[in-house]
Structure 1
């Protein structure tokens, strides 16, 4: 019964809003085709791209306006993508899996290199818990369907535990932090910059990060309709993301100074988050498809999604006949 409830609640997270896709389809199709609508979260490469303004300048030459919409997390962003309120956005590894299981209209376009240290299982500084094995029977806060959901599953598996051995407490980051601070949960699985903030401000201790367990890729996704109709815009967008990522790697201090006030965090906290992230957007490779398929299969085996998924079915390929992996050329050399 518990497994059935978990499965229903996780898929329902995405399916509830996706049910309105048919209603909003006409509105989405009627939108101004000269506007690119990008969904972003509080932190990540898209925040830097938005602040930099280079994408707007590049697309203005094609008569395209860029509009930005902030979302609190990956699941909500993909709901927006599916119902037609945005055309493009970024999430971690797990949200697209649950979104695909719920029938979302999405395509994987590109990804960032692995960043396994930018998510972790945290415990209070004075916690008696010393290893993941000690989490048996404990309450663990996490944002369900997010990238850290897979980290938790893998960490438990590596420690010889089952998902049913712990008590998941599904909370968004702000509520999870509050529960963590007052001791309502024993551990918190979270990503940057919330992770870095908890380490600095709460002196939270890392029980296990993603090293040796998960890749923690960031994915860039587009609605199928938009990507297939506007391949040249998608290529330009990924190229600009790659460029701002390369700039960030070479200008960590400047990137930190730019992002810190947007996050409302200190430079020290922000710098940790910026340095743990990885940059150099690339179009989707077969190896990444394979890794993402493994994530999907894991959640299917846990009966947290109701059916087997085929990740390669939702990978973007250019409709104008140009080879996706070769355009733009610089993407192939990004690390």
Structure 2
């Protein structure tokens, strides 16, 4: 009888402790055609989330706004680079989602064909200007720059949406007059004859009086998952931080991940990897929160967002807790 009692007690203890030993599941989404691709490929191939005791399911999307929509629908739990403008909008609308990280800097340049008569951004009134689709941070930042620095309102130029490769093709074919392209894209367009007429960083500094690029993408998390898994949320951020540091230290490994994930040519992958430090971030310090709030107000001034951004939309707990995770 004593032996049976001991076995029964052990069985009950196993039942009680078993759930704690199980890895928390998390569905992670990212845009597979934009800047998110590089970070997503490294995060996934390096198994950084698994190293933190998590069980991730990665979901890729061909559209820049799709991860945000998937979060709102409960189809994923975390987007590693949701557009800042769309994230602001869902926060204002009261959707149960939280910004837990600033993850992508808007390192883009405005370019025109080499032989274009356009000499500055002030010449873009009435022109066709390519960029990411409406709802993206790129589109909102472009509108803010043209309106605030050159007096060109959104209705005074034609916004042509598209992914970077398509926009570059439009430029070469002279189907559009100018485009806002990511620096990583421009680095890959070795044969395209394009001329830079401005940069997001320089133009944004004129608006904010700060020498820092605007935030392009954020880490957006579903509130239900965050509340149910506060410890796991901190480990998600820790995994993101470790992936970022890995990318800074080993550009060749980043290039290999891109070759494998995107079937990218080795030279192109190395050019992409070389820009890692400038296009990615994993932060949510007080300065980042202030920057995001300023960005919201700038977007609001040109009608890209409406309402008021609630303080509750910016949740620092996972980031702060991640600092103690080795």
The TM-score normalised by the length of structure 1 is 0.75
Mapped contact 1:293–1:311 kept (Cα < 8 A): no
Output aligned runs, 1:87-106, within 5 Å: 87-89=77-79, 90-106=81-97
Instruction: Choose which of 98, 113, 129 in structure 2 pairs with 1:140.
Output: 129
For residue 215 of structure 1, what is the aligned residue in structure 2? 214
For residue 128 of structure 1, what is the aligned residue in structure 2? 117
For residue 180 of structure 1, what is the aligned residue in structure 2? 171
For residue 28 of structure 1, what is the aligned residue in structure 2? none
Mapped contact 2:31–2:61 kept (Cα < 8 A): yes
**What SS is found at the alignment partner of 2:269?**
helix
- 1:208-256, Cα deviation, whole Å (9 max, x unpaired): 2222313235311101111111111111111111111111111112212
For residue 228 of structure 2, what is the aligned residue in structure 1? 229
Mean Cα deviation higher: 50-59 or 269-278: 269-278
**What SS is found at the alignment partner of 1:104?**
coil
Mapped contact 1:132–1:155 kept (Cα < 8 A): no
For residue 189 of structure 1, what is the aligned residue in structure 2? 180
For residue 158 of structure 1, what is the aligned residue in structure 2? 149
How many residues align? The count is 286
Counterpart CA distance in 1 for 2:185 and 2:95 is: 28
The structure that is strand-richer by fraction is 2
Output aligned runs, 1:17-28, within 5 Å: none
Deviation at 1:92, TM superposition (A): 3.9
Pair 1:291 & 2:291 matched: yes
Distance 1:123 1:261, change over 3 A: farther
Deviation at 1:128, TM superposition (A): 2.0
For residue 80 of structure 1, what is the aligned residue in structure 2? 70
Counterpart CA distance in 1 for 2:238 and 2:315 is: 15
Mapped contact 1:148–1:191 kept (Cα < 8 A): no
Higher radius of gyration, 1 or 2: 2
Deviation at 1:107, TM superposition (A): 0.4
- 1:81-115, Cα deviation, whole Å (9 max, x unpaired): 11011000122432312333454331011123x74
For residue 256 of structure 1, what is the aligned residue in structure 2? 255
List alignment gaps of at least 5 residues for structure 1: 1-32, 319-323
Instruction: Choose which of 39, 63, 69 in structure 1 pairs with 2:29.
Output: 39
For residue 14 of structure 2, what is the aligned residue in structure 1? none
Counterpart CA distance in 2 for 1:206 and 1:271 is: 22
Mapped contact 2:164–2:181 kept (Cα < 8 A): yes
Counterpart CA distance in 1 for 2:319 and 2:219 is: 15
For residue 149 of structure 1, what is the aligned residue in structure 2? 139
Mapped contact 1:39–1:88 kept (Cα < 8 A): yes
Counterpart CA distance in 2 for 1:162 and 1:312 is: 29
Counterpart CA distance in 1 for 2:73 and 2:292 is: 23
Mapped contact 2:109–2:200 kept (Cα < 8 A): yes
Counterpart CA distance in 2 for 1:329 and 1:75 is: 30
Taking only aligned residues, the RMSD between alpha carbons, in angstroms, comes to 2.7
List alignment gaps of at least 5 residues for structure 2: 1-22, 205-212
For residue 48 of structure 2, what is the aligned residue in structure 1? 54
Mapped contact 2:248–2:276 kept (Cα < 8 A): no
Runs of 4+ in 1 over 6 A off after TM superposition: none
Counterpart CA distance in 2 for 1:304 and 1:226 is: 29
